[in-house]
Amino acid sequence: MTTSRTGPAAETAAAETFWADAERHLVRYGVEFVPEIIERAAGSFLFTADGRKILDFTSGQMSAILGHAHPEIVATVRRRIAALDHLYSGMLSRPVVDLARRLAGTLPAPLTKTLLLTTGAESNEAALRMAKLVTGRHEVVSFAQSWHGMTQAAAAATYSAGRKGYGPTAPGNFAIPAPNAYRPDFTTPGGGHDWQRQLDFSFDLIDAQSTGSLAACLVEPILSSGGIIEPPPGYFAALQRKCRERGMLLVLDEAQTGLCRTGTWYAFERDGIVPDILTLSKTLGAGLPLAAVVTSPEIEQEAHDRGFLFFTTHVSDPLVAAVGGTVLDVLAAQRLDERARVLGGFLRDGLTALAERHEVIGDIRGRGLLVGVELVVDRETRRSSGDLGRRVTRRCLDLGLHMNIVQLPGMGGVLRIAPPLTATESELSLGLSILDQALTDAARTL
């Protein structure tokens, strides 16, 4: 008779088998796998197969704004999946219409028409397809450090990574520099960031390259994968004027900034503008695959009259739409926009205190609970070190904190901090204390 092994030896053998199977059977897709087997998650924490507890400072993939396994989301999924999960894409259900109506209630006029999809890439794909059809043009402008997705049009408008080796993108995609106040490329006589001159120069170049077919400008209110770069107040109003002058539609991608993360329901509210088309994803499903394209009745009507087609397998799926409605319930009931402002201030204060002790912190930026910490090896020259960022994130994981590092040319590394909006001050304090230790340890090894 054989008996199954238990205890540490069996756990080690099981882990070895897991990683061997992963190596043998998984396609790698551009990121190193975190060397932990995640068994479950709850609230702000992940729990590994070997019993470790890890504080999640990225909300999964910047999506789980209500934390993991939120009881109201769990209840909605359990209730709805037993009744209505998926339909023929031409059929409608109450959760879909209810979510579209409620989204309109959170947005300024004229953003009242919604298309429900699955991912951020898909929503940006649909938005660009709509903009091109409505304008009758094809050229698209985006930031040079943008990330909009991995499907065709979204990838063509993504410049931070993934452009090389795949052949030509569709013609008519142009990049303009992101307005980075910490590393300005246009400066005032006093050394400040001259973003207006940068923007004017950028569109002079766009006009020189355009064939007269400018359709849309697709940008993020805060560039997340680009290093938490927040354009200054006034920038988006000026950008919208540039679009209006050229007959372009302004499309804002609020995959990570939408739905209370920055301290307001939508990041564009700070700037007093309303985009022509808004895309939402990550935060709308709080970790489940749900995305939206929201636009005006006029643009939707013109698109419809011209035969707009975006008929996908999971368009208007009822299960995730119900989850989206629950997300809106929790955000409103718990006033998580205000909570993001308060906790964001607490987090910034803690990071500022760390910067007084750690010379490698060059800049702290962002809004609400979307914060970037740029690491440098020389504050005076702002000289960067890619190795430093990698060492800090590895040490954070060793100590029980999952962080994400953005590493692009010219940056040593920007820590993206985006904990759930349901996080507590004690959890943020724990994360700050771990980061403090990781910075100390990493600096010693340089």
Are 143 and 174 a contacting pair, CB within 8 Å? no
Taking the C-alpha atoms of residue 139 and residue 58, their distance in angstroms, rounded to an integer, is 34
Are 149 and 162 a contacting pair, CB within 8 Å? no
Q: Which of 56, 122, 230, 253 is catalytic?
A: 253
Q: Is 416 a catalytic residue?
A: yes
Q: Is 282 a catalytic residue?
A: yes
DSSP 329-345: HHHHHTTHHHHHHHHHH
Taking the C-alpha atoms of residue 33 and residue 36, their distance in angstroms, rounded to an integer, is 8
Are 129 and 276 a contacting pair, CB within 8 Å? no
Taking the C-alpha atoms of residue 78 and residue 382, their distance in angstroms, rounded to an integer, is 51
Q: Which of 56, 125, 194, 220 is catalytic?
A: 220
Q: Which of 147, 276, 300, 341 is catalytic?
A: 147
Are 249 and 33 a contacting pair, CB within 8 Å? no
Taking the C-alpha atoms of residue 360 and residue 357, their distance in angstroms, rounded to an integer, is 9
Q: Is 79 a catalytic residue?
A: no
Which residues are CB-neighbours of 446 under 8 A, at least 6 positions away?
Answer: 377, 385, 387, 388, 391
Report residue 145 as tokens. 């450090």
Q: Which of 198, 256, 265, 271 is catalytic?
A: 256
**33 burial type by CB count under 10 A (0-12 exposed, 13-18 middle, 19+ buried):** exposed
Are 121 and 150 a contacting pair, CB within 8 Å? yes
Taking the C-alpha atoms of residue 176 and residue 239, their distance in angstroms, rounded to an integer, is 11
Angle, helices 318-333/336-357, rounded to nearest 10 degrees: 70
Report residue 402 as tokens. 């999952």
**Other Cβ atoms closer than 10 A to 70:** 21
Q: Is 147 a catalytic residue?
A: yes
Q: List the Cα angle 195/239/214 in 5-degree steps.
A: 125
Q: Which of 80, 246, 261, 282 is catalytic?
A: 282
Taking the C-alpha atoms of residue 438 and residue 415, their distance in angstroms, rounded to an integer, is 12
Q: Is 253 a catalytic residue?
A: yes
Active site (catalytic) residues: 147, 220, 253, 256, 282, 416
